[in-house]
Structure 1
Amino acid sequence: MIRENINDLIAFAAVAEERSFTKAAARLNVSQSALSHTIKGLEQRLGLRLLTRTTRTVAPTLEGEDLLATLNPCFEKIESRLQALNDSQDTPTGTVRIVAVEYAIESILWPKLSPVLKQYPSVNVEFVMDYGYTDLAASQCDAGVRYGDQVSDGMIAMRIGPDERMICVGAPEYFEALGTPEVPQDLVDHRCINLRLSTHGALYAWEFEDKDGQEINVKVKGQACFNTVNPVLQAAIDGHGLALIPERLAQPHLDSGALRMCLEDYCPYFPGFHLYYPSRQRPSTAFTVVLDALRERA
């Protein structure tokens, strides 16, 4: 009976930890209806009610809490042992899933990890592009990438790139036709290319800083809006308006003359990209290889 219930117990632990059938189903990669059926079957076989369900929440009963407290150390011990067996291999092996924005994947992750994949054929890396603040456990990712000042408490953070800044740019013909803003507040009278944040669906408020270190946020308007940064860059090159984009992304086009910068004195630097992952995570051989390759050494 115990062996028959292992998968059901894993399902129960996921629901109890997530406090949600929807999140637990995503974590286990099963349908919500299948997960609900599994939990009902487990409760019937045990003759106990393990979860209290309401229209808004799911919470373990006293019996469920007791079972969860017993299961978690067992699952962690099994996982630790399996990881130890994997670590005993001479060749780094495994899959590492990393969630990051498109710009981080293209400018840092792929250039640094491309040689690693050639060097270690048994190491696999899956890149998940997301502009939101992704929950690593819910998305089943091993690590994520954010700017250094955006990493959540309780996470290990490792710098993987230099300091960055967002700069305001436009095509030369745009400035010739519509002029150059002198201060951030002038942007309300200019055509700007917006970025819609997937985190909460709002338009990104352009962020600047004056000489005294005071933040200046400007909500801009324009004809074009995207939810990734590369099309924003191209729209600026095509003369559709001003754009606020990472300086490193814009630099080749500044060098070529396709773009010009404005409001430079209001564009401060901030901590660059960091890789973050749970502090309790025991790194696999594949994850260790990835960490070493991404570490910023400059």
Structure 2
Amino acid sequence: MRGSEFADLRAFATIVAYGTFARAAVQLSVSPSALSQTIRGLEARLGVRLLNRTTRSVSVTDAGSRLYARLKPVLEELEAAVADVNDLRERPAGTLRLTSSRVGAERFLAPILGPFHRAYPDIVLDTTVDDVVRDIVAEGYDAGIRLGEMISDDMVAIKLGGSLRQVAVATPEYLARHGVPQHPRDLLDHACINWRWTETGRIYHWEFQEPGGDWFSVAVKGPIIVTDRSMVLAAALQGVGIALWLEDRILPYVKDGRLVPILEEWSGAFPGFFLCYPKQRHTPLPLRVFTDFMRATYG
């Protein structure tokens, strides 16, 4: 087999694994048009169509499915063999692609950037920070930092830090004018500062827990909707209405009297953040040393 043929087969397998030319192109560090040309050449040499392509989707033909079923274990074995050799390097090296929410990155990534770089100068942390719940496998990430409730069962999860609570707050002036809610559903009669999920466009429903009981949500309304949680706090401090945010974030403003916590007995604790990555037979060395570093720092 010529070297180019192996590369073409790997390109085909990557498209099938990631579901789209665009995602596969990112993983292979090529343009989608170049990848499409590669697959056309491979199909021409084999004399059979492997993929059915439209502008929006890719599906695998019967011939493509058969080829992929034979290729997948071979490519996995080759990658494991290369990884074994890389493990013998004196210093771990390579690129580690990470995805994290803004809060997760601020809490757990930002503090370790310097120490991790000094410990492993040959590892590049390629990090995407936003509030989109990304498909770690499909989008070619090695690991992610996210809340426990957003981690699927097929992922390895490492706890980072302790449990969290969200607490509703408002300025003393707002509560003096509009009254203090006694039950979360009383929020329906108040101006609340809403947050919208970037990924889906859906407005977040505020979550509360019955004292010692079940969780429930309330679809509050108000004059402001934002996609950045820092804006929620800014609006609350300016007296726009009631905000719901992490307890440690609002604590400094509670201590100096600018914000007043409400409905605290309804504010249950939840597990918080985890570092997660796909279960795999061989964990690449850069990922292994990164997870060990995070576990030692926050475990």
Query: For 1:171-228, what per-residue CA distance to the aligned partner results, in whole angstroms no more than 9, with x for missing partners?
Result: 2332233222111111111111111012311100001111251333111122222112
Alignment of 1:270-289 (within 5 A): 270-280=270-280, 282-289=282-289
What is aligned with 1:41? 41
CA–CA distance in structure 2, aligned partners of residues 171 and 26 of structure 1:
47
Give, in angstroms, the shift of residue 291 of structure 1. Answer: 1.3
**8 Å CA contact retained: 1:236, 1:242:** yes
Give, in angstroms, the shift of residue 29 of structure 1. Answer: 4.6
Question: Could you tell which deviates more after superposition, 34-43 or 134-143?
Answer: 34-43
Question: Could you tell which deviates more after superposition, 124-133 or 189-198?
Answer: 124-133
What is aligned with 2:213? 213
Q: SS at the partner of 1:216?
A: strand
**8 Å CA contact retained: 1:156, 1:279:** yes
TM-score scaled by length of structure 2: 0.90
CA–CA distance in structure 1, aligned partners of residues 117 and 241 of structure 2:
40
Q: SS at the partner of 2:192?
A: coil
Give, in angstroms, the shift of residue 288 of structure 1. Answer: 2.5
Given the superposition, is the C-alpha separation of residues 286 and 55 from structure 1 closer, same or farther in structure 2, using an over 3 Å criterion?
closer
Question: Could you tell which deviates more after superposition, 33-42 or 256-265?
Answer: 33-42
What is aligned with 1:187? 187
Q: 1:67 corresponds to which letter in structure 2? A: L
CA–CA distance in structure 2, aligned partners of residues 93 and 199 of structure 1:
32
What residue ranges of structure 2 are gaps of 5+ in the alignment? none
Pairwise CA RMSD: 2.3
Q: Does 1:169 align with 2:166?
A: no
CA–CA distance in structure 2, aligned partners of residues 54 and 42 of structure 1:
18
What is aligned with 2:121? 121
Give, in angstroms, the shift of residue 261 of structure 1. Answer: 0.8
Q: SS at the partner of 2:173?
A: helix
What residue ranges of structure 1 are gaps of 5+ in the alignment? none
Q: 1:40 corresponds to which letter in structure 2? A: R
What is aligned with 2:202? 202
CA–CA distance in structure 2, aligned partners of residues 271 and 66 of structure 1:
43
Q: 1:148 corresponds to which letter in structure 2? A: G
CA–CA distance in structure 2, aligned partners of residues 29 and 176 of structure 1:
58
**8 Å CA contact retained: 2:101, 2:130:** yes
Q: SS at the partner of 1:138?
A: coil
TM-score scaled by length of structure 1: 0.90
Query: For 1:60-114, what per-residue CA distance to the aligned partner results, in whole angstroms no more than 9, with x for missing partners?
Result: 3332222212322232222212222221122232332221111111122222443
State the aligned residue count. 298
Given the superposition, is the C-alpha separation of residues 282 and 255 from structure 1 closer, same or farther in structure 2, using an over 3 Å criterion?
farther
Q: 1:196 corresponds to which letter in structure 2? A: R
Q: SS at the partner of 1:207?
A: strand
* Structure 1 moving runs of 4+ over 6 Å: none
